A and B are shown apart, each in its own frame.
Chain A
Amino acid sequence: MSDGFSASDGIDLEIQWQRLISIMDEVDNATVKTSFSTIVGESRDFACILVDAAGVSLCQSSFSPPNFCVVLPRTTKILLEAHPLDTLEEGDVLVTNDPWFGTGHLPDYVVITPVFYRGKVVAFMGTVAHLADVGGHPGDIEAFDVFTEGVRVPPAKLYEAGKENRLLFDVIGGNCRVPNLVLGDLRAIVGTHQVGARRIHEFLADNEIDDLVGLASEIHGRSERLMRERIAALPDGRYEFGLDIDGYRRIVHLHATVTIDGSDVYVDYTGTSPQMPDAAINCTYNTTFASTFYPFKCALVPTIPNNEGLFRPIHVSAPEGCILNTTFPHPVNARAKTTNNINQVLFGALWPAFGEHAQAGAGSIWPISVSGTTAEHGRFSVHVLPHGGRGAMAGMDGLPPIAFPHNSAVTPVEIWESQCPVMITEKSLLPDSAGAGRQRGGLGQVMTFKNIGSETISARVRPDKIFCAPPGLAGGRPGKTGQVIFNGTVIDRFPILPFAPGDTLTMRMPGGAGFGDPSERPRDAIARDVQEGFLTSQAADIEYGYVHPSATQGDA
């Protein structure tokens, strides 16, 4: 324990901790205000994290996606191996987008700036941001290696003592389709780090401390202790669950063995399918670790701000070469197809221990984008990120379509239609798509897109759970699988589609799975679902053995 921090004083700790978080919120705001691309500025696909001098994360901005925050400190440590602390100068900025060092796919750049105070590094400002383009093929899922997917920047100095590394700016800009957006975002991020560094200086001066060592140790120590208490409260034992997921071209099996041993948790993925040589759904260890940590954080310490102390009791292993610990240079761009299902394997294993915090399988995200050039709209590339229904929990029915397990915004229909010659002719909840249960799943939805222009454009869709349904928990039924229908034909391969005038593409997104035995669902809840049109009377009969009064009357 060093320099003027009184460990006993919980009030001081809370004030200082919250001030650090608000510094990162300011960095976050500055990023939104100064970024060039919509993916950073509007879709908020970035995170700002404060890392201590040892490369351990202290806090993050409030809006940051949780996975980024778990990965960034790991990346920082790797960057510091390539560029050790004692070689750094004021004004240096480190960067990489290597999937095995960073967040698992190329578009995510990790940018780290050392914060100097009185001649030594006291912290790092870190940002992970999904940039607008990294070159590579426009395909998504169909790839044979990471080289197909774009340009890879090995750990390097983006700025040297405050000066732009011209070489790096040249090659990053020279290998992407929208260099103004990408380089603009990178410069903006570096600017926000300067704002953050100034605030850290003020923080240190105000608190009359020379560094963050004492505070960091307090934050980490207390967070770790709490996480350990919560884990220790769970019954010791071995919990195991296996889940088939869609994969791509071939079904993939995820298998988790979770051992709770005192205040430690060991998650092992032995038994999981091998990595795919021809589909970009492989996960590097970093992403697997982050997606594994997330359900524990949500279930056990939802109110504690994210920091690395919380990670310490969680130990994750996955055999090298399995789809959750892929080896270089396997393709990784669409790893979310796999990582989105990790929480469901863990909930499958741990629901007896997690109780009301466990969530049944969700309908997943179904990204769709269209791009092309037309006289009316110019050059466009528009995407929307609709979801299926959420899974049920012990205390509540699943939510209707909403982002999970990450945060993302859904582009409004009006915005979409003003930006491209594609009309959304239908967007409605899908009756009977939810998995039955004491608590039922959230309904899935159907969306239909029609090319009303006069030229052929490109469409790209990445569905999930069209083969393997979202799994139920505690006797709850699975949600209904989804379907992609292109001009009346169900399709199951998803390279870029030529989308001709008059073509229609329908996405029937899965419903969430149920929780608990359907026979325990209250009759009035079933009646309400039938009344609202969420459930047809036939399905009510089949799934719940419930005959709606109106149906009987109709027969009579």
Chain B
Amino acid sequence: MDPISLEVMWQRLIAIADEIDTATIQTSFSTIVGESHDFGCVLMDANGHGLAQAQWSPPQFCTMLPRTTRVMLEKFRPETLAPGDVLATNDPWIGSTHLPDYNLVSPVFRNGKIVAFLGTVAHVSDVGGHLGDLEATDMFIEGTRLMPNKFYVGGRVNEVVEEFIAANCRVPDMVLGDLHAIVGTHRVGIRRIQEFMDDYDLDDIQELSAAIQDKSEAALREAISALPDGTTHYEITADGYLEPFTLKASVEIRGSQLIIDFDGTSPQQDHSAINAAFNISYATAVYPIKCMLASAIPNNDGLVRPITITAPEGSIVNCTFPAPVKARAKVIKHIPPLIFGAFADLLPNEAIAAAGGIFPFHFVGSDPRFGTFAVHMLPHGGLGATHADDGWLPAAYPHNSTVTPTEIIERQCPAIMTEKTLLTDSGGAGRRRGGPGQRITLRCTAEKPVLLTIRPDLLKFPAPGLHGGGFGLNGRVEHNGTNLTRFRPIPWNPGDDIVLTVPGGGGYGDPRARERERVLEDVALGLVSREAAETTYGQADLPTARELRIQAIRDHVHTVRGGAER
């Protein structure tokens, strides 16, 4: 297959996945799918290997879903499937590792034969279970598990499955609405694949599938081969919950192969829901490799072939059934900095220092002005620095999510955000500075207590830097001036304050090597204090605050004029 045809056909598959993605947004019932975009769409070949994903899809979903599909196909053999069948599961050990993520997979038939599969994984609004988050002792507390089953049989909904899902969630209209919508988007996708195959007069897509995967694999192998053989080690200790945990990785380059082993990583925890089942640890470890070595190649299963990942069974990155798993993001968000850390010497230009992470935040209650409300907010800390750039201001990482605007929150629940500010000296020092953290203060204006759930991180162990870069600022949560260390749902009383200090990102390189003008700019912006500029960054003879302000205005005017002249 010539490269031009390959590229055209490959892009068309991606466009089909994008259309499924768009259809999902347009037809979904819940905001978590429709607006927060917490779903992924993948097109797979007849063997269940990923070929193309929608461009907006979170990367981990797209690595996991083909693995989930292949497990479901062991129970429901492809030869027993019929057009209109849809397989479904939310089993954490088969799917994307916590119960709210439902996986739906539809076979695509052509001339009586399966030629492809379409898959969607979506975080649905509710799966029953407790209202808690971090504090759990097993998965059964966390909601209802649907073992791999046919959600549709020959184009008709399987009523037993539908009733079972409905009976076990608080918002059945929303959850079933989303699931039926997804089945509809698969029908759109199936039509598009038929048209595609008509246009190219194809009976199957085996050749195309092989070309996509083989070429991707070859490109990644070439990039790995360019690295010297050998093994590096890295470890990160993080807060965990109630007790800290350590992630350890050894990364071995052996010719064109890359072998990651999590040996030495802490065991799973019985009393907190931060355990990760292997699928997501695998997918999250693949992600930084892809970013560093094959960033321009669209995701597909060819890219995982050169990578072998192992983790000890019973460790916190390969937990065993039925460990509680709902808040596994507390662990897996430390996997990208772990892998980047291991590559810091090998690929100094590509590695990223650790980020300040996410503090998911959730109010539930009822109030005469707002009715019954459930509002989510996903504030982030600063990002880690790289060889080339300072860490970003607070933004979602390592996954994509949107930040609910203050105005929306204040309209939807009885809370006022009295403060939202970037924090001085919160980004880790370095030749490139970590992104600053932020402080958010909320005041309860409800008439009766609101239930508030928060899942902070980096309270004890801040985000580490790379190559001599400093740590970001630790996180902190204060309720009416008291520092919190346990995070069960908190009764938030009228007039109460909650102050979130969301951590800063780690720095990169020696702070004393930072250019003076960058330090002065940081001081002018209030991101670095005068004391830190002098002691940490080693700058003497700092201009006065007034001089810095004037300089800042001049720079601003210059930038604006420059823009206008262009």
Contact = CB atoms under 8 A, between A and B. Distances in A.
B146 A152 contact: no
Contact of B160 (A139, A152, A165): A165
Nearest to A135: B140
B160 A138 contact: no
B220 to A, nearest CB: 37
B427 interface: no
B164 interface: yes
Interface string B126-150: 1011111000011011011111010
B149 A152 contact: no
Q: Is the interface of B mostly helix, strand, loop or mixed?
A: loop
Given A98-B167, A177-B322, A171 B145 contact: yes
A30 interface: no
A177 B147 CA distance: 15
A147 B170 contact: yes
Interface size class of B (residues with CB under 8 A): 20 to 34
A98 B164 CA distance: 11
Interface string B95-132: 00000000000000000000000000000001011111
Nearest to B169: A147
Given A138-B141, A156-B160, A167-B160, A147 B129 contact: yes
A150 B131 CA distance: 13
A154 B164 contact: yes
Interface string A493-537: 000000000000000000000000000000000000000000000
A117 interface: no
Interface in B58-108: 91
A332 interface: no
Interface in A21-59: none
A170 B88 CA distance: 13
Given A138-B141, A177-B322, A171 B164 contact: yes
A329 B161 contact: no
Q: Is the interface of A mostly helix, strand, loop or mixed?
A: loop
A144 B161 CA distance: 25
Contact of B170 (A135, A138, A145, A157): A145
Given A135-B144, A170-B149, A152 B167 contact: yes
A329 B128 CA distance: 11
B8 to A, nearest CB: 43
A146 B164 CA distance: 14
Interface in A105-150: 133, 135-139, 144-145, 147-148, 150
B160 A168 contact: yes
B147 A147 contact: no
A170 B147 contact: yes
Interface string B314-352: 000000001000000000000000000000000000000
Contact of B130 (A133, A137, A168, A176): A137
B168 interface: yes
B35 interface: no
Contacts, number: 73
A270 interface: no
B188 to A, nearest CB: 27
A485 interface: no
Contacts of B164: 153-154, 156, 167, 171
A135 B142 CA distance: 9
A175 B144 contact: yes
A434 interface: no
A148 B168 contact: no
A174 B167 contact: no
A151 interface: yes
Interface in B146-200: 146-147, 149, 158, 160-161, 163-164, 166-170
A147 B163 CA distance: 14
B145 A174 contact: yes
A450 to B, nearest CB: 24
B14 to A, nearest CB: 35
A206 B116 CA distance: 62
B168 A147 contact: yes
B162 to A, nearest CB: 10
Nearest to A156: B160
B147 A174 contact: yes
Nearest to A139: B130
Contacts of A133: 140
A156 B163 contact: yes
A171 B163 contact: no
A107 to B, nearest CB: 13
A340 B167 CA distance: 28
B243 to A, nearest CB: 14
A136 B164 CA distance: 15
Contacts of A144: 131
Contact of A148 (B130, B158, B161): B130
Contacts of B146: 171, 174
Interface in A420-437: none
A260 B129 CA distance: 44
B375 to A, nearest CB: 17
B149 A167 contact: yes
B137 A138 contact: yes
Contacts of A170: 147, 149
A154 B149 contact: no
A270 to B, nearest CB: 26
Nearest to A278: B451
Contact of B161 (A136, A167, A176): A167
A151 B131 contact: no
B170 to A, nearest CB: 6
Interface string B433-476: 00000000000000000000000000000000000000000000
Nearest to B148: A170
B160 A174 contact: no
A157 B131 CA distance: 31
Interface string A80-104: 0000000000000000001000000
Contacts of A167: 149, 158, 160-161, 164
Residue of A145, A147, A157, A168 with most partner-chain B CB within 10 A:
A147
A151 B170 contact: no
6 contacts: A138-B137, A147-B170, A168-B160, A170-B147, A175-B145, A177-B138
Given A152-B128, A170-B149, 5 more contacts: A137-B129, A151-B128, A151-B168, A152-B168, A167-B149
